[in-house]
Structure 1
Amino acid sequence: MNKLKRHQTGITMVEFSIVGSLFLLLLFAILELAIFVFHLQSMNDISRRTARIAAVCVVNDTDIKPLALSEGAPPGFTAENIKLDYLNKNGLAILDPVGNHADIRYVQARIIDFNYGFTPLLKFLGENGIVPIQDFRTVLPAESLGVLRSDVSSEKTDC
């Protein structure tokens, strides 16, 4: 019996190191995926915020995208990943929204061409940890488009 105990010395530490390392690996993988889902939600919110700001600001205002990116953007996300379109009543993009201001019925904001990079822990996902993100799209009805009511004033507001 004494000989059997001597051969078992340290086995608990080996078992704990194996089980503990697997547990920590799983825990950090779950945290990384949670951060990924958070960044997906923040990109969805950025598209919604961009469309909302564009619906009330002057057409083609340069402040729309920076205002939408004020918080919560994932690393590597820039204003170049936001595409803003003004749509007519049929949902088709208006090529010259400034010249055809009266035809604008909807504002569309899309998140385009963004690739999310995982940490080295999840590098096996995608192409070496880089995963292309689907295009997020938000369409809202155009509101004031930065123009005050004509019975009050004909001035344009600033975002």
Structure 2
Amino acid sequence: MNNLLKFSIAAGAALLIGGCAPQHYHSGPSSYADTQLSDIQVINVTGYGAPKSTFDNLAQRRLMALRASEVDAYRKIAEQVAGLQIIGDTRTDDFIADRDRLRTYLNSFVQGATITDQEFEADGMAITTMSLKISRSEMRRMLEEERYRKARGDNLPQGGAYSHPNAFAPRY
């Protein structure tokens, strides 16, 4: 009986000491290469462009529709990366919404996007598929830098096309 008591106390002490030891659970990536791969994100977008009937030449209509689809794809990538500024106002008359207006603004710089596919539909619609590979940590750093620049009153980096904050928005 004395041996059983000694064994029970020793086992209890071992469990108590073992339970207080630090636990090393590792749920993250197992290596530096895995960390780099999980930081990479690929953005895929599709842009559309309609042929304009004012051009007499079929080739010119196709080229302009193709260019419109490329610009639409770039715009969608910029929206995904940098976001949109949305400004809205509603006019009411006798507590009834009379006019509702929303405007979106986008001022961004996209570099490194790759056109992965371009095709034409039977009706002349051009479709461009584009992708952009980005690093999430680098993108976070760049967006914070951009917010800081905008808070200071600067809008674009050195050599930017426009310096006035509303210069990029067309006036309708």
TM-score with structure 1 length normalisation? Answer: 0.29
From the two aligned structures, give the one with the greater strand fraction.
2
TM-score with structure 2 length normalisation? Answer: 0.27
